[in-house]
Structure 1
Amino acid sequence: MSQMKHSIRLLYIFLVLFIGSVSGSLYEDCAPQHCGNDINISYPFFVGGLQRSYCGYPGFELQCNFNGLPSVLNISGTNYSVNDINFQQKSMRLVHAPTSTCPLDIRNITLDSDSQLVGVFPAGLTSELIFLTECSKEVPNNMTEFRIGSCDPDVMLVMLGDDEHLEMAKELCTNVVVAPVEVPGDQVVVGGNYTEVMKRGFTMSWSAPGCNQCEQSGGRCGWIDSQFRCLCPSSIDVKDTCPVGDTSKKQGRTNKKQVILVTALCVGFVIILVVIILCFLWKLKQRRKTKNSSNVENFLKNHEFLAKRYSYLQVKKMTSSFQVKLGQGGFGCVYRGVLSNGNLVAVKILNKLKGNNEDFINEVASVGKTSHVNIVSLVGFCFEGNKKALIYEFMPNGSLEKFIYNQASSSINQLGWEKLHEIAIGIARGLEYLHIGCNTRILHFDIKPHNILLDQDFSPKISDFGLAKLFPKQRSMISMSRMRGTPGYIAPEVYSRNFGQVSHKSDVYSYGMMILEMVGGKKNIEVGDNHTSEIYFPHWIYKKIELDEELGLRSNSSDKENEMARTMIIVGLWCIQTNPLNRPTITKAIEMLEGDLESLEIPPKPYLSSPSKLVGSSLTD
């Protein structure tokens, strides 16, 4: 991994150098720039904001003023106005203007003794003003002094002309600041005119070894990697001097080669970067898969009693290599299988699970802990790498969905009102077992006709526990981060906590929507004779019940069957009340279904409609 990082770093450095120097871009970046007074600024100075820092010596950045004011050069933390600059003579005139009457903001001008930029002050004109503070001894009379009483601590200003006095001053005072000034040799600073002297400024000259040769060879001077470099107009390298005599034709060929080379390097870099990212993501994915698989294995090891474990080879054998397909859902496909004892089973292949195998664990944990006539039985499971399957008891009549939505089929004649009533009660008893009959309370969160299977006697069994939630009996409310379930059956509080807390009443809502669909024989959308516009079935049927009108749902119904239909409708309308507190428990719903129609009160009209036509796949959190 460290070698890979090193390679990436080297490739990045090469690309910066190559891309930065295509068509002499380093050379172009360091072109002279105007700075305020229309003087072209070049090495060893660079113009802040207009030139790159490698176009000049470190610390010699000019801040240009384009409003007629002098430009500014910062040396040793002090700003100096540049009144004049001459690149032919390599000299410039600097002025330090104190920001107050107290000169404590003045700093010494110090340059690196090893630098290639050396300040030289012209002899005979340049002298030094020394500012002294925190003096422990009296200043001798032979040192001209002027005390500036407005400063705290007091500052003594002394004019000195040699190093001997400077050394003496350093012995007397803790803080000694030397400010270069330019005065005639016979002038002496007296009184408080030091500010006038400083306003005259001083001249500083510089030397830049190697720059003359570079410029004569057609290059421009720069400072790269802490050393002087000559930037050439048609070379991808930085050298001490540029090759003399380059023709435009040769430069054109060189530039073309540079473009091709840099393009190839860029493409190579992108490819390498993409490969590295893909490898990293693949390793991360594999690591997560390994961790998730380990978690599932630990869960299965601790719950070996839930169901029998089969290998994928056994699953393939029992389904005859998946020959007979029974159905398909968002999770994958269901195939018919035969166990070694001859019993038929339904094999559910899970190939679209969530990343942490939560659906698989939910199914095994939920169904494996249940044993009820109205809950589908889990015969076994398979967990082998990315091969996952759940094996259930075989339900010959399939799901309830195909018996209630297709009125034209001959199979609809097998389900009369009495059988539909029995199925509704059976589903409710299965939910009652999940809610209060198990040691651990189970909420299904996806009750709908598609998840209700019918055995050979058309007895219902609740299936598909992929979205189920398990929680202790002591808790009546549960928390969820996001919505889960199938649109059209989701309780209002599941998709918005403004309607109440999520609880077992959320399953009651889904059950009520399903009961109304069983009665209507269609989805709760687009029910009625007029299909030119959507008609929400619960609102439509509520009006019929409220006005005691003929339901007109199915022909040739006896009075007893009409009573069963009305009972189911009233129970369904109670179950889909918007406020969870107004819904009955599933146990109360069973009592209402088994009781007399006359004893049932008509509930308030539900004011929420189904979430549009989204009645497809389930949503999970």
Structure 2
Amino acid sequence: MSVALEMKMVMYCFWLLLMIVVAETGVGQNECSEARCSEHGPAIKFPFRVKDRQPDYCGYPGFSASCTTTNDTALELSTSMHHKFLIRKINYKSQTIQVYDPDNCSQKLLLNFPNRSIPPFQFSNWNPYYHTLFNCSSSSRTGYGLIPCLSDSGYQIKIFFSDDDIDDLLFVSCTKMYDLKGIPYEMSSQVSDVQLEWSKPNCGACEAKGKICRVKNFSTQHETECVRKGVSKGAVVAGVTVSASVLTIAVIALVYRIYTKDKNDRENQLRIEKFLADYRAFKPSRYTYADVKKITNQFKEKLGQGAYGPVYKGKLSNDVLVAVKVVDNSKGNGEEFINEVRIVGQIHHVNVVRLVGFCAEGFERVLVYEFLPNGALESYIAATAGGKNCSLHWDTMQDITLGVAKGIEYIHRGCDQRILDLDINPHTVLLDHNFTPKIVGFGLAKMCAKEQSTVSMTTARRTLGYIAPEVFPRNFGNVSYKSAVYSFGMMLLEMVGGRKNVDGTREDADHIYYPEWIYNLLEDGEDLRIHIDDEGDAKIAKKLAVVGLWCIQWHPGDRPPMNVVVQMLEGGDRLTIPPNPFASPGPKRMHTNIPAARTMKQELEMIPE
């Protein structure tokens, strides 16, 4: 545990001790005790509080009362309602409050709250009826339904039962204002008192048992609890003493631990910081083959087998772990080794694997990379449909896809030369201890000038299921940076579904079936039928699926560049579903409406290999 983390724990313990003392000893209880505006006024206690006399935590949100200049108790109904109703009495057991208008016009509530909702209160509907308010000219010939206190010399406000036959009424220039749903019958007559009720917080049960209702200590959701009245002072002191003793011992232990290990931690921190400073300015080192054998302890621990040779775990002299790849010279003509040293050695990006060094001695070719303990992304994608066995949370999956997209964007646009890495798949994405993704495997990559965007290819040496259609000579025979976008899209869809994009049991093994299934579900407005319980996770899965389908469009020009892909992944979940990438390709290109679509549809210049 770091010193900084332990110091935070110490501060947390002190704050916890302080809050327990405050809670248990009743600090602040006097200012939250029962209050009255006058000797015979209604008692104000939780969930109510007296505004400007008691702090906010003494009451529940929306339950505020105030004292008038005449010492009457006013209910603060709404900031938008300047006229105040006075409180006659409050029944905390039945959770009802009786208010009245000092001007004897309770119908003012109807003009301010026509839908019987007076947050956080409602009308007590002992006899609920449906009424309608009308605004009539002063020349109306009937006084039926008139509310004098709401009327003026120039107009009359009238109220009628909603089911009255208004054709039989003698109206002159009357305009309907609005319907009143389920208000008490008494509100249509000239009464001053109105009874309101509240349902939340539900403190009536506490009051019935003679207990006190209050907001739970440290609650952020305004949860309430019942506590006994009159807790003895001795019990409070005993509780505080025990709590303080336990926390004091814990604090002393933490402080002792911090000071006893501080010296060693400082030395370790200086050593780590020195290594990191050296590593930032690090150029790939050239090792002898004897050095490689020493680093790997005679190739003792094998991590895996790649397409161009085995990979071993090693350790440098400063205890930094590395992954050592021994290149098999029997495969290829050494192009992969040259590409890895030339390309990876000049890249410095958090989402691209770091080349620590290399060995080129005689016929021996070795590449030394940073060690990524969580291995390849491939091992975290479930083999069964539905993704039920996937051990990565959807938030982590989204972070991984965004990191890979930023890495690809960098090698497309951030280097001195554009790098066309065409073999993006879950096997070439490794994860460090924080599950930060890093792209590996640049042996088959091509380099070209930034202003150039395609190269020609004579063979398709890529991973089946992630190869863009233009890579196959029988289609176009030219590849561009959009080919990596296609591979990234296929990887996204595989992560969403937790299954391979290619059915290896079929004789036509290049038949891609799963992405089209996803597209059909989204087009029909159905969910992805993936085992997801959380609604937020479902939105992430849908967003990743939509981005993946944009990336695998048949025509390279219809695929978004990686900077647009990054924007789509960082944005919200309201993305437009792309055109069907599985429709039979024709001479006419499909138009898109994603960001920067016009810049995508540019002609790609062919560059000889």
TM-score, length-scaled by structure 2: 0.47
Q: Answer with 1 or 2: which has the greater Rg.
A: 1
Superposition TM-score, scaled by structure 1 size? 0.46
